Structure 1
Amino acid sequence: MKNFVARGDAITITAGAHIASGAGVLIGSLFGIAAGTIANGAEGVINLTGVYDLPKAASQAWTVGAKVYWDATAKNCTTTATSNTLIGLAVLAVGGTAGETIGRVRLNGTAA
């Protein structure tokens, strides 16, 4: 097929700021996870799909299948939709104590 470009599970971006490897990246309506460290102004790859352990709001318990949103201000995941961007679904239940700050998320490939 002549018009095929790529699988689409990862793309190359130009960083507008330093991005640490494994960090969440929101560009417009596109959300991904940095595949490696990307220096400000440099090109790097972000993964758009897959399952990742990501920082989450400590005050929330998650159930399997719950919608997960990216809080661009706090730079973490939340189940609160208001003012946040849908990025995927929780694939592992997790409690809401102060020490439970990691949630397992299946990325949906694009933010909504």
Structure 2
Amino acid sequence: MRTYVEIGGRMDYTPTEDVSVDDVVVLGGRIGVATTDIPAGKMGVLAVVGVFRLPAVTGTAFAPGEALYWDASAGSLTRDGTGDKPLAGYAWTPKAASANFGEVKID
């Protein structure tokens, strides 16, 4: 029996509600990003590896390599991992405190 399945950069996903392209989807303790619009009940694809430019909290700077979490209620990246915020990945580039987007490496 062969054990290799695939590279793993993309994941099939069937949502219970409509998902739009570039939406962040929480997958247990991680996130994926929709590669296309996915209607509820239909299979689509999430990117689960890569660098993405996503909304981020303002008032906080990010340094490359810092762990980032997804705050689903705010729809943004944050350094605050308390509560039920899943790990998004790590900061890919510096983010100024005034910026409302950050680049995150997910895998």
TM-score (norm 1): 0.86
Paired with 2:71 and 2:25, the residues of 1 have a C-alpha distance of 11
2:41 aligned counterpart, secondary structure? coil
How far 1:22 moved relative to its partner? 0.9
The DSSP-based 3-state class of the residue aligned with 1:40 is: coil
Instruction: Give unpaired runs (5+ residues) of structure 2.
Output: none
Unaligned runs of 5+ in 1: none
- Count of residue pairs brought into register by the alignment: 106
Query: What's the CA shift string for 1:11-31, capped at 9, x where partnerless?
Result: 101012111111111122341
Q: Is the 8 A contact 2:62 2:95 kept in 1?
A: yes
Matching residue of 1:101: 100
Alignment deviations for residues 55-80 of structure 1 (CA, whole Å, 9 cap, x no partner): 10122111111110011211211011
What TM-score do you get using the length of structure 2 for normalisation? 0.90
Runs of 4+ in 1 over 2 A off after TM superposition: 1-6
Aligned residue identity for 1:37: D
Q: CA RMSD in A?
A: 1.4
1:47 pairs with 2:38: no
The SS at the match of 2:103 is strand
Percent of matched pairs sharing the same residue: 28
Residue correspondence of structure 1 range 76-91 to structure 2 within 5 A: 76-83=76-83, 84-91=85-92
Structure 1 residue 4: Cα displacement: 3.2
